[in-house]
Amino acid sequence: MLNPNYIVGFVDGEGCFCVSLNRKNQQIPEVRLIFEIELREDDLDILKSIQLALRCGNIYYLKYDRYAKWRPHVKYKVSNFTDISQKIIPFFRKYPLQAKKRLSFEKFCKVAEIIETKEHLTAGGIERINNILHGDSLDALDAHVQWGATEIT
């Protein structure tokens, strides 16, 4: 089993704590938290080891037709909120990130607290989330929006 400090070091370099907002033509956008690591396909084994150690998440195979010269990639992804709140967040609380990615993680955790209380289903909650994402050090947050919605900048 991988040493947890190894996982923290690897994630500080290669991991992503994402907050995803998708408006889907609704007034209140859907908020999701995603923890992911994307690597070249020949580094699949280390993603499997991380998945085993963190006891959650799935691995996806990504082939970018747009980038024919790119090697296919593999992505480890945790998007289930229960896994995020009960496994991912406690893990990185116990073994803290050491590089600037800890700023992304702190914002990720603040958004998780809002989701826990269901406040993210209200306009006020969305405003709070936007304030978290657009606050100081926003640049350190790997915030993005999936499913074709607008990117947070």
By CB under 8 A, name the binding residues for a second copy.
Answer: 2-14, 39, 42-43, 45-46, 49, 98-100, 139-140
- Contact in structure between 97 and 10 (CB atoms under 8 Å): no
What's the closest the beta carbon of residue 4 comes to a second copy, in angstroms?
Answer: 8
Query: CA 150, 127, 125, 76: dihedral to nearest 10 degrees?
Result: 40
What's the closest the beta carbon of residue 121 comes to a second copy, in angstroms?
Answer: 34
Q: CA distances (Å), 15 to each of 5, 7, 37, 107, in order?
A: 14, 10, 5, 15
In the complex with a second copy, the residue whose CB is nearer, 6 or 81, is 6
Which long-range contacts does 114-122 make (Cβ < 8 Å, 24+ apart)?
114/31, 115/31, 115/33, 115/81, 115/85, 116/85, 120/31, 121/28, 122/28
What's the closest the beta carbon of residue 109 comes to a second copy, in angstroms?
Answer: 20
In the complex with a second copy, the residue whose CB is nearer, 1 or 123, is 1
In the complex with a second copy, the residue whose CB is nearer, 21 or 36, is 36
What is the Cβ-side half-sphere exposure of residue 10, based on CA atoms within 13 angstroms? 18
- Contact in structure between 73 and 50 (CB atoms under 8 Å): no
In the complex with a second copy, the residue whose CB is nearer, 72 or 124, is 72
What's the closest the beta carbon of residue 43 comes to a second copy, in angstroms?
Answer: 5
What's the closest the beta carbon of residue 98 comes to a second copy, in angstroms?
Answer: 6
In the complex with a second copy, the residue whose CB is nearer, 50 or 78, is 50
